[in-house]
């Protein structure tokens, strides 16, 4: 099945099994806004917990906060969002569709990149075992010509964006002969800037003076609380402040399900460091964040770094961790060296000192910041899309299974009496009592056992526990493993420890911590 088709199936699976619903669906939905259902809320919570524990619990020098969504409007003037949080937009006059100019150009570059990959594939087939890919890429004239093209386009785009030369951006679109995907024409308007922040009015004040914004990133709630946390927590540099919470952006190109939403959740950590050490910490956090992703056990080939050409207004170095979604490699997380831009700007706009006295150097300074920022919804999509599998079984039947990492699964175990009589439901209820304080469970007694297994596979439940007549005699149950579909008999007393060893987050965190210590050594 082609990835796009598989992606469509993932979206309908997410709805059918209670993971993600379109927002206010009875009114035909609201574009780029989604609700999480009963399974989705659990999976999202588990991903959030995994991030929080890895950040806050595993680092003595990182603490977590929960700042408000509404902030003083000057915050966004200081952060640069009022003036610079814009997307360059262009309209096609025939289709009346609006596009991000840089996205149109990036899509054009992606087409050239795929030409390069096709050329490399041809070379691989032609030279078979003697194929030296690095040499081929460095010498093949077609590959070199296309690389040169990409470099030229990137160079022009970067210059136009950095210097806010919107006419140059439009000229690039014209020169590249980019057509509107809907109308197929090149009948473009000029490129204009469009601010992405949502605004509303606070209290009884109307007009500009009462205007406040829904935060477009959670990071500013951390910056304005930097001294509060440092002083009240007696934090010593280097230290971090972590936060998860909603952010809002009036995205123009909102598509690909929950990949780009107008209301979404971020998990951000600002790490405050001594000026001059920021690049060391930038590289440290790039590696640390990649380890966090890799600990999920997805293939290494699913991830890559993408170093930014176009830096955000606050950064002096930035990279994305990209994940291979069904629609290609896309940004999953950003790691940014934000210098002293934010704290410096808040000092200026508030008139309050946001400095740290370093007892080691006897100096007072505005700390530099390295940020890690990941979208929870995007992480959810990466996890769900990778976990989704349609399988043909040995007996010729088919199943859809969510191969979620066990510790992230919404339901850890399903408890199932084989039949709804003979005291089996009562025994199953006893097992629910034994386990429900530690694990999210589902009690399921409807339909045949085969159908129930399929239902749990579709939810990603790692373990099914079946209670049969034999259980009443020997106190043993059948455990059925989601991935292998293997079954085994175990005693009821063994269940808590067995489940703990299979589905708890602890082992993953321990491995992550060991890797972290090895990296630091």
Neighbours of 276 (CB within 10 A): 9
Binding residues for ligand GAP, total number by CB under 6 A: 19
Q: Of all residues in this chain, which one has the CB nearest to ligand GAP in the complex?
A: 375
Kindly list the distances between the CA atom of residue 390 and the CA atoms of 39, 328, 463, 497, in Å, as whole numbers in the listed order: 19, 20, 19, 31
Nearest-10 crossing angle of helices 506-520, 278-294: 150
Distance CA 155, CA 164 (A): 14
Within 276-315, which residues bind ligand GAP (CB under 6 A)? none
Task: Rank residues 335 and 411 by Cβ distance to ligand GAP and give the closer one.
Answer: 335
According to the binding rule CB under 6 A, does residue 87 interact with ligand GAP? no
According to the binding rule CB under 6 A, does residue 214 interact with ligand GAP? no
Out of 331, 342, 444, 468, the only residue in the binding site for ligand GAP (CB under 6 A) is 331
Task: Rank residues 248 and 407 by Cβ distance to ligand GAP and give the closer one.
Answer: 248
One-character DSSP codes across 222-287: HHTTHHHHHHHTT--SSEEEEEEEEEE---SS--TGGGS-SEEEEEEEEEEE-TT-HHHHHHHHHH
Rounded to a whole number of angstroms, the minimum distance from the CB of residue 9 to ligand GAP is 21
Task: Rank residues 246 and 352 by Cβ distance to ligand GAP and give the closer one.
Answer: 246
Stretch that binds ligand GAP, among 113-121, 238-246, 332-340, 410-418 (CB under 6 A): 332-340
Rounded to a whole number of angstroms, the minimum distance from the CB of residue 32 to ligand GAP is 8
Task: Rank residues 293 and 427 by Cβ distance to ligand GAP and give the closer one.
Answer: 293
Neighbours of 189 (CB within 10 A): 12
39 closest CA partner among 402, 517, 447: 402
**Helical residues (DSSP H) of 128-205, grouped into ranges:** 133-139, 141-162, 166-175
Stretch that binds ligand GAP, among 64-72, 330-338, 405-413, 479-487 (CB under 6 A): 330-338
Judge if the upstream peptide bond of residue 238 is cis by omega within 30 degrees of 0: yes
Q: Going residue by residue from 145 to 184, which x/- string records binding to ligand GAP, judged by CB under 6 A? A: ----------------------------------------
Task: Rank residues 87 and 268 by Cβ distance to ligand GAP and give the closer one.
Answer: 268
**Helical residues (DSSP H) of 163-204, grouped into ranges:** 166-175
Rounded to a whole number of angstroms, the minimum distance from the CB of residue 405 to ligand GAP is 19
Q: Going residue by residue from 350 to 389, which x/- string records binding to ligand GAP, judged by CB under 6 A? A: ---------------------x-xxx-xx-----------
According to the binding rule CB under 6 A, does residue 260 interact with ligand GAP? yes
Cβ(104)–Cβ(375) below 8 Å: no
SS3 at position 339: strand
Task: Rank residues 153 and 247 by Cβ distance to ligand GAP and give the closer one.
Answer: 247
According to the binding rule CB under 6 A, does residue 217 interact with ligand GAP? yes
Distance CA 191, CA 249 (A): 20
Task: Rank residues 170 and 270 by Cβ distance to ligand GAP and give the closer one.
Answer: 270
Cβ(478)–Cβ(468) below 8 Å: yes
Stretch that binds ligand GAP, among 140-148, 186-194, 260-268, 511-519 (CB under 6 A): 260-268
According to the binding rule CB under 6 A, does residue 195 interact with ligand GAP? no
Task: Rank residues 377 and 444 by Cβ distance to ligand GAP and give the closer one.
Answer: 377
How far apart are the two ends of the chain, measured CA to CA in Å?
A: 45
- For residue 177, the Cα-to-chain-centroid distance in whole angstroms is 33
Distance CA 339, CA 316 (A): 7
Task: Rank residues 261 and 499 by Cβ distance to ligand GAP and give the closer one.
Answer: 261
Task: Rank residues 324 and 331 by Cβ distance to ligand GAP and give the closer one.
Answer: 331
Neighbours of 287 (CB within 10 A): 13
Q: Which residues bind ligand GAP (CB under 6 A)?
A: 217, 219, 249, 251, 260-261, 264, 266, 268, 331-334, 371, 373-375, 377-378
């Amino acid at each position: 099945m082609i990835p796009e088709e598989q992606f469509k199936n993932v979206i309908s699976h997410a709805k059918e099994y209670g993971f993600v619903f379109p927002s206010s669906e009875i009114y035909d939905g609201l574009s780029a806004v989604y609700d999480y259902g009963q399974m989705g809320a659990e999976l999202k919570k588990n991903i959030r917990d995994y991030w929080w524990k890895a950040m806050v619990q595993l680092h003595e020098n990182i603490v977590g906060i929960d700042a408000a969504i509404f902030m003083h409007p000057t915050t966004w003037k200081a952060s640069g969002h009022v003036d610079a949080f814009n997307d360059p937009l262009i309209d096609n006059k025939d289709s009346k569709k609006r596009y991000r100019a840089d996205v149109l150009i990036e899509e054009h570059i992606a087409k050239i990149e795929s030409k390069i990959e096709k050329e490399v594939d041809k070379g691989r087939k032609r030279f078979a075992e003697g194929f030296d890919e690095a040499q081929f890429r460095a010498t093949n004239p077609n590959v070199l010509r296309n690389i040169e093209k990409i470099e030229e386009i990137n160079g022009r785009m970067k210059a136009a964006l950095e210097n806010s030369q919107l006419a140059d951006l439009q000229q690039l679109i014209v020169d590249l002969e980019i057509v509107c995907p809907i109308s197929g024409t090149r009948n473009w308007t000029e490129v204009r800037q469009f601010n992405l922040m949502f605004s509303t009015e606070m209290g009884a004040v109307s007009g500009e003076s009462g205007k406040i914004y829904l935060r477009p990133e959670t990071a500013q709630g951390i910056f304005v609380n930097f001294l509060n946390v440092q002083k009240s927590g007696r934090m010593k540099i280097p230290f971090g402040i972590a936060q998860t919470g909603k952010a809002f952006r009036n995205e123009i190109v909102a598509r690909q399900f929950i990949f780009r939403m107008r209301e979404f959740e971020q998990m951000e950590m600002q790490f405050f460091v001594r000026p001059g050490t920021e690049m060391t910490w930038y590289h440290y956090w790039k590696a640390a964040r990649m380890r966090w992703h890799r600990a999920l056990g997805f293939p290494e080939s699913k991830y890559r770094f993408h170093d930014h050409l176009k830096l955000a207004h606050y950064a002096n170095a930035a990279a994305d961790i990209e994940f291979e979604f069904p629609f290609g490699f896309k940004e999953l997380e950003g790691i940014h060296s934000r210098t002293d831009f934010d704290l410096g700007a808040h000092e200026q706009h508030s008139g309050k000192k946001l400095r740290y006295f370093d007892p080691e150097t006897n100096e007072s300074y505005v700390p530099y910041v390295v940020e890690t920022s990941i979208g929870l919804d995007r992480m959810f999509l990466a996890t769900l899309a990778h976990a989704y599998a349609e399988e043909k079984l040995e007996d010729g039947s088919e199943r859809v299974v969510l191969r979620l990492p066990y510790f992230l699964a919404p339901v850890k175990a399903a408890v199932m009496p084989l039949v709804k009589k003979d005291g089996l439901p009562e025994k199953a209820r006893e097992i629910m009592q034994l386990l429900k304080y530690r694990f999210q469970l589902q009690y399921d007694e409807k339909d045949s056992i085969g159908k129930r297994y399929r239902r749990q596979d579709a939810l990603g439940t790692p373990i099914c526990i079946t209670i049969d007549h034999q259980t009443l005699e020997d106190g043993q149950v059948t455990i059925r493993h989601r991935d292998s579909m293997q079954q085994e008999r175990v005693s009821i007393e063994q269940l808590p420890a067995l489940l703990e060893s299979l589905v708890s987050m602890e082992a993953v965190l321990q491995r992550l911590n060991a890797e972290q210590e090895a990296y630091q050594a």
